[in-house]
A and B are shown apart, each in its own frame.
Chain A
Amino acid sequence: MTQRIFVPRDASAVSVGAERVCRTIENEARNRGLDVEIVRNGSRGLYWLEPLIEVEIDGQRIAYGPVNPEDVPGLFEAGWLQGGTHALCHGPSEEIPYLKRQTRLIFARMGVTDPLSLEDYRAHGGFKGLERALDMKAEDIVDAIDTGGLRGRGGAGFPTGIKWRTVMNAGGGQKYIVCNADEGDSGTFSDRMLMEGDPFCLIEGMIIAGLAVGADTGYIYLRSEYPDAWDVLEDAIVTATREGILGANVLGSGRGFELNLFKGAGAYVCGEETSLLESIEGKRGLVRAKPPLPALQGLFGQPTVVNNVITLASVPWILAHGGEAYKAHGSGRSRGTLPFQLAGNLKQPGLVEVAFGMTLRELLYDFGGGSASGRPIRAVQVGGPLGAYLPESRFDLPLDYEAFAAVGATVGHGGIVAFDDSVDMAKMARYAMEFCAIESCGKCTPCRIGSVRGVELLDSMLAARPQHSNDDTLLRDLCQTMLEGSLCAMGGMTPYPVLSALDHYPEDFGLSPKQEEAST
């Protein structure tokens, strides 16, 4: 009987050698005359174990990792196809605590299925949400999203149901569903994983969004840094169109949905929704002033839903299981689950989908295993380059949109980047300003000029220390101007990492620690 071996095709897994491991397994199996079938799945998200290879024995998948090509002969020698013991064996995949302790709703198929197999997708609950939605009135679809309490997963946390209702009620004419797949925040990779590892889930979510608001056309704006996701999505769209899931007659319903893939060109600011729309229209990605809201005048001036990948990918689950079931997870006004991404200096980086409400400490230590370097974790940036730095005194904060906002921080897209005690927080603050200067679209002055002045100010502060004590009045003043005067989050949130670094790590700036108490 053919035995199945799973080797991830995920870009991250391949970046650490999964492709070479795959070829070595094929060769070894052939040389040994063994009958194996290699399935290219997505990643389970246990990245410190990648390349993570799974062998299926009696319907159960046994995990081995990290597997290097030179480990492969030894694994065959140890009888891994029969469950033989080996130092790299982690037992049944589903029993690995890192995975077992998660609540995988949206990422339930991740790493389990072949991303491009519709048969696999259907066998694991795919299209149940869409089939339901096709039998529902548009209002009822939006109600289900409202009930579930889904909020925008791109970072802003705006209620998805309200956005959809606005577009639904926007009158007739052409409407669009735009998926924001410009995942530019450092420390985030859940969009990439989902597109590479479960592309039909995103497609299904977009079709449902189209049914809800009355849009027959969608765009996925994908950043150019994700060539593998591009290939997978391109294949998935061809397959879905051929099988009558996309196109003029979605699942034989008589309703149509056409999906276009659009490649970005390396501009971080195009992750801002209005800049993204300008970019699809072939223009410089300058941020638009709001109002008008994209929901009323979006792409080509038409009513448009702009949602992040994970927001749209959460939709099929909510439709399949009901808003109440989704709402049952979470804390406060943050309902459901969020696929958190553990990155930076952690022993066990990876994808952790859990309900809102877990503390940062649990994620960093119970899942992340502490720092990779073995040194104390000194600072954690949550929510990407525009997110605040948090010191250990904040590690018991529950991950919840409101709890984070209350301390001047943001959950954002769920990216968590850990730094050990070798980090220089004044340099990180400078980097935040520098990044803003490089990526600012240039439309508003506080962002365009403020970021450049911020770099200059921090350069002089860096040069003055440790001999001279610094004064942070000017820097704080500049941050306030950027916070209040910028057109979008680029300039408006760059002060978050800067101010949090100043507040919690004044000594790194050549400031006396006393100011910390005064400002927090």
Chain B
Amino acid sequence: MSSTNQADLLPALHRLQEKFGYIPDHAIAELAKAHNMAQAEVVGVIGFYHDFRRTPPGRQRLRICRAESCQAMGADALALHASTQLGVEFGATTADGEVTLEAAYCLGNCACSPAVMLDDELHGRVSAERLDAMLAEGRGV
């Protein structure tokens, strides 16, 4: 029944990440055992999917849509603004551990482009000013 066992791996990874914010190294061996897989296979699955991370994220996760519809409405400038304001590249976390900046490739909010997602909260028609306000609010400023 190894295939059935392995089929629970993605839900298990989602649960772990929801709890810890990332997949801790010490969980790999347990995951491998529980799902009847080699540790290398588990690491391979984690590495394939953009959602899963192996290091702790910032307190907030800011995803900026970089796909076509948002590009048509100024997402490149918004992305540059976010990166400059936060002082980090995409994929990195601010030095104070507050915000992880990530690119998203479509949030399904294309009729209200440009779109961003702060944690699980979707925002549409986002201007640079609104983005600043959202981040300030998130930091409790």
The answer to whether A15 touches B105, judged by C-beta atoms less than 8 angstroms apart, is no
Interface pick from A93-101, A149-157, A275-283, A393-401: A275-283
A228-B122, A265-B14, A285-B48 are known contacts. Are A11 and B69 too (CB-CB below 8 A)? no
Digitize B29-48: 1 where CB-to-A-CB distance is under 8 Å, 0 elsewhere.
00000010000000011011
Interface segment among A55-63, A112-120, A336-344: the answer is A336-344
Most chain B CB within 10 A, of A48, A185, A285, A438, is at A185
Q: Which residues of A contact B7 (CB under 8 A)?
A: 280-282, 300
Q: Is the CB of A187 within 8 A of B110?
A: yes
Decide: A343 and B69 in contact? CB cutoff 8 A: yes
Pick the contact of B72: A226, A266, A344, A415 (CB < 8 A): A344
Is there an interface contact between B73 and A345, defined as CB atoms closer than 8 Å?
yes
Q: Contact check, B105 vs A186: say whether CB atoms are below 8 A apart.
A: yes
Complex: A492 Cα to B49 Cα, angstroms: 21
Chain B residues contacting A285 (CB-CB under 8 Å) are 48-49
Interface centre among A186, A188, A191, A438 (most CB of B within 10 A): A186
Q: Which one of B52, B69, B105 contacts A417 once the chains associate, using CB atoms below 8 Å? A: B69
Return chain B residues, CB-CB under 8 Å to A279: 10
Alpha-carbon gap, A283 to B49, bound state (A): 10
Chain A residue, CB-CB nearest to B123: A15
A225 CB contacts on chain B under 8 angstroms: 104, 106-108, 117
Is A376 among interface residues, defined by CB-CB distance under 8 A?
no
* A127, CB-defined interface residue at 8 Å: no
Give the interface centre of A47, A343, A435 by most chain B CB atoms within 10 Å. A343
A268 CA to B68 CA, complexed, in Å: 14
Complex Cα distance A36/B135, Å?
Answer: 35
The residues of A that contact B48 with a CB separation of less than 8 Å are: 267, 284-285, 441
Does A262 interact with chain B (Cβ within 8 Å)? yes
Interface positions of B from 83 to 141, Cβ below 8 Å from A: 104-113, 115, 117, 120, 122-125
| A192 near B14: Cβ-Cβ < 8 Å | no
Interface residues of A in 247-287 (CB under 8 A from B): 262-268, 279-285
In the complex, whether B60 has a CB less than 8 A from a CB of chain A is: no
B-chain residues with CB within 8 Å of residue A11 when the two chains form the complex: 108-109, 122
Interface of B: prevailing SS: mixed
Which residues of A sit under 8 angstroms from B115, Cβ to Cβ?
Answer: 15
What is the size category of the interface that chain B forms with chain A? 35 or more
User: Which residues does chain A contribute within 8 Å of B64, judged by CB atoms?
Assistant: none
What 0/1 readout, one digit per residue, does chain A (404-423) give for beta carbons within 8 Å of chain B? 00000000000101111001
Count of A residues near B, CB < 8 Å?
61
Q: Are B14 and A263 in contact (CB under 8 A)?
A: yes
A477 to B23, CA, bound (A): 42
* B124 CB contact (under 8 Å) in A15, A262, A385: A15
Q: B51 to nearest A CB, angstroms?
A: 4
Contact B111 A48 (CB under 8 A): yes
Residues of B within 8 A of A281 (CB): 3, 6-7
**Which chain B residues lie closer than 8 Å to A372 at the CB level?**
73
Q: B28 contacts the other chain (Cβ, under 8 Å)? A: no
Measured in the bound complex, the distance between the Cα atoms of B115 and A283 in whole Å is 30
Q: Judging by beta carbons under 8 Å apart, are B112 and A349 in contact? A: yes
A343 touching B113 in the complex, CB below 8 Å, given contacts A186-B68, A187-B68: yes
- Whether A341 contacts B49 by the Cβ 8 Å rule is no
> With A and B bound together, what is the CA distance between A109 and B140 in angstroms?
41
Task: Give the chain A neighbours of B44 by CB distance below 8 A.
Answer: 284
Among B4, B8, B72, B104, max chain A CB count under 10 A is at: B72
Any chain A CB within 8 A of the CB of B9? yes
Kindly name the residue among B65, B70, B112, B123 whose own CB sees the greatest number of chain A CB atoms within 10 A.
Answer: B112
A-B contact pairs, 9 of them (CB 8 A): A16-B123, A186-B68, A265-B13, A265-B50, A265-B51, A282-B45, A343-B110, A344-B73, A344-B110
A interface residues (Cβ-Cβ under 8 A, vs B): 11-12, 14-16, 45, 47-48, 50, 183-189, 191-192, 224-228, 262-268, 279-285, 300, 341-345, 349-351, 372, 381, 385, 415, 417-420, 423, 428, 431, 435, 438-439, 441
Known: A47-B112, A283-B6. 13 other contacts (CB 8 A): A15-B122, A183-B106, A187-B69, A188-B106, A188-B108, A189-B108, A189-B109, A192-B108, A264-B49, A266-B50, A284-B47, A343-B72, A441-B48
